[in-house]
Amino acid sequence: MAQQDDFAPTVAQDQLHDQVHARGTAQAMDIRFTGSGSEYFRIWIVNLLLTLVTLTLYLPFARARRIAYFQNNTLVGGDPLGFHADPWKMFRGYLLMVVLGLAYWGVSHFLPGLAWIALLVFMVLWPALWRASLQFRLRNTSWRGVRLSFAGDLKGAYLSMLPFFLPALLFVLLLPEVPEGDDMLPGEARRAMIIVGAVAIGFTLLMPWLFARMKRYQHGGYAFAQERTQLHAGTGRFYTLFLKTSGVSLLVGLAGAAVVAAGVFLLASSVFSGVGDGNRRALVALLVPVALAVFYLLIPLVSAPYFGARFQNLLWGGTRSERIRFGSTLRFRSLFRVTLVNWLLIVLTLGLFWPFAKVRAARLKLEAMSLEVDGPVDGWLAQAQRSQQGVLGDAAGDFFGMDMGL
C-alpha cells in the first residue's frame, strides 16, 4: 500500500471550490443500487442454513457472498464495485476472533481476578485488528479495475480506539471483588454504585468525542487512485447530533407514554366495567407488558432512523479529497418509512422478509449519496493502474483477513 506521502494532500473547501471553477471539469457521478430482494433472499437463506449446519464456521464465507452481492450491485457512474476477497483468509481471521473471544470469556469466568489482564491484552490487539480489517476490506474492493486502499497508520488506530476501552478497564480495576456466594457489604455496594454511575456518565458525555475520533481516522484513511480522503466535520457537530437524537428520543418517549397510558385507561375502563376483581387483575397484568413493549419499540423505531439519516449525511457530506467529494441527502422521513414497513413485514413473515428489508434499506441509503470528481476520470485511473502499490499494509490485511465492518 502506498505511504501517506504518496497521496495528494487534502485542501481546504474554499481552495477546492476555486480549483473546480478554474478547471471547469467537475463531473457528477450517480450512485445506484440494482439488487433485488428475491435475488438476495436465495443467497441469504443458503448462508443461514449453512451457518447453522456448520455451527457458525461458514459465517466468513457467508459474509463474503453478502458483501460481493451488495458491492457488485452498487453502480458508481454506471460501473459496479468489485469484491475480490478470498473467503479462506476471512475464515482464518474469524478463527482468530473466536479464539480471542473464548480466551477472554474463560479468563473472566474462571479467573475473575485476572480479568483486567485479559482485557488489557484485548485492548492491545483490537486497534491493530480493526486497522487490518479496514485494509483487507478496501484492498479487496475495486472500481473500474483500480483497487481501493486504507492509508491510516497503526498509531492513529490506537489513538482513536483505545479511549473506548478505558471505561471497561475502570470497571474491572475499581469495582470491589465479591467472593462467590457472599453478599456485598453496604459500603462496598455504595462504592460500586458510585463507580458505575460515574463511569457511565463520563462515557455518555464522551461518546460523541469518541465517535468523532474513530470516524475521523476511518474516513481520513480511504484512498483511491492517489487520492486520500479526510473527514471535515468538527467534534461539535457530533455533539449536536447526539443531543438532537437524545431530544427526539425523549419527546417520542413522552408522547408514546401519554398515548399508551390513555389507551390502557380507555381500554381498561370499557373492559373492566363488567369484570370481577380477579379477572381485572389478570387483564391488568396482560395490558401492562403489552403497553411497555409498544413504548420501548416506539423509541428505537423513530430515533434510530433519525440518527442513521443525520449520521450518514454528517460523515459522507464531510468526506472529500482534492479531486473527490462525497455527499449525502438521506431524509429522515424516507428512512423512517422504510424502517417501519421493514419491521412490520419482518414480524408478519416471522423473519423471512429480512433479506428484502436489507435490500430496501441499502437502496435508499446508497442512492441518497452523491459523488463528484474533478478532471478526466479515465486519465487518473489509467495512471493509478500503472502505479505500483506497496505491500506491507496490504500484507497485514491479508494475514488477518477479517471483515469487521466499515
Comparing 186 with 274, which gets the higher pLDDT?
186
Provide the pairing of β-strand 324-328 with 369-373.
antiparallel
The average pLDDT across 301-306 equals: 95
The pLDDT value recorded for residue 392 is 39
Picking from 34, 134, 141, 132, the residue whose alpha carbon sits closest to that of residue 83 is 141
Could you tell me if 30 and 373 are in contact, meaning their C-beta atoms sit under 8 angstroms apart?
no
Q: Has residue 339 got a pLDDT over 50?
A: yes
Residue of higher predicted confidence among 7 and 126: 126
> How, if at all, do strands 146-147 and 149-150 pair?
unpaired
Whether the CA torsion 355, 356, 357, 363 is positive or negative: it is positive
Provide the pLDDT for residue 84. Answer: 94
Neighbours of 83 (CB within 10 A): 19
**391 pLDDT band (50/70/90 cuts)?**
very low
User: Strand pairing partners for 325?
Assistant: 320, 372
User: In the predicted model, is pLDDT for residue 263 greater than 70?
Assistant: no
Q: Residue 388's pLDDT is what?
A: 45
Task: Give 293's pLDDT tier (boundaries 50, 70, 90).
Answer: confident
**What is the b/e burial string over 287-322, where b = at least 16 CB atoms within 10 angstroms of the residue's CB?**
beeebeeebeebbeebbebbbbbbbbbbbbbbbbbb
Grid cell listed for 95: 478463527
Count of Cβ atoms closer than 10 Å to residue 109 Cβ: 9
Instruction: Please give the pLDDT value at position 306.
Output: 97
- Using DSSP's 3-state secondary structure scheme, residue 33 falls into strand
The string of pLDDT tens digits covering residues 56-96 is 999 999 999 999 999 999 999 999 999 999 999 899 888 88
Confidence of residue 177 (pLDDT cuts 50, 70, 90): low
Query: In sequence order, which residues have a C-beta less than 8 Å from that of residue 60 and are 6 or more positions away?
Result: 87, 90, 91, 93, 94, 403
User: Which residue would you say has higher pLDDT here, 165 or 48?
Assistant: 48
Mean pLDDT of the chain: 82
Q: What percent of the chain has pLDDT over 70?
A: 78
Whether the per-residue pLDDT at 34 is higher than 60: the answer is yes
Enumerate the β-bridge partners of residue 372.
28, 325
The structure's pTM equals 0.84
Confidence of residue 100 (pLDDT cuts 50, 70, 90): confident
Return the residue matching grid coordinates 421493514. 342
Q: Are 151 and 2 in contact (CB under 8 A)?
A: yes
Examine the pLDDT at 270 and tell me if it is beyond 80.
Answer: no
How much is the pLDDT for 19? Answer: 47
Supply φ then ψ for residue 153, to 5 degrees.
Answer: -85, 170
C-alpha cell at 132: 487490518
Is pLDDT of 398 > 80?
Answer: no
Please, which pLDDT band fits residue 394 given cuts at 50, 70 and 90? very low
Kindly report which listed range (93-102, 174-183, 202-211, 246-255) carries the lowest average pLDDT score: 174-183
Give 57-94 as a DSSP string: TTHHHHHHHHHHHHHHTEEETTEEEEE---HHHHHHHH
Name which residue leads in pLDDT, 35 or 22. 35
Pairwise pLDDT comparison (367 vs 278), residue with the higher score: 367
Which segment, 140-154, 252-266, 391-405, is predicted with the most confidence on average?
140-154
| Residue 2 confidence (pLDDT) above 60 | no
pLDDT exceeds cutoff 70 at 395: no
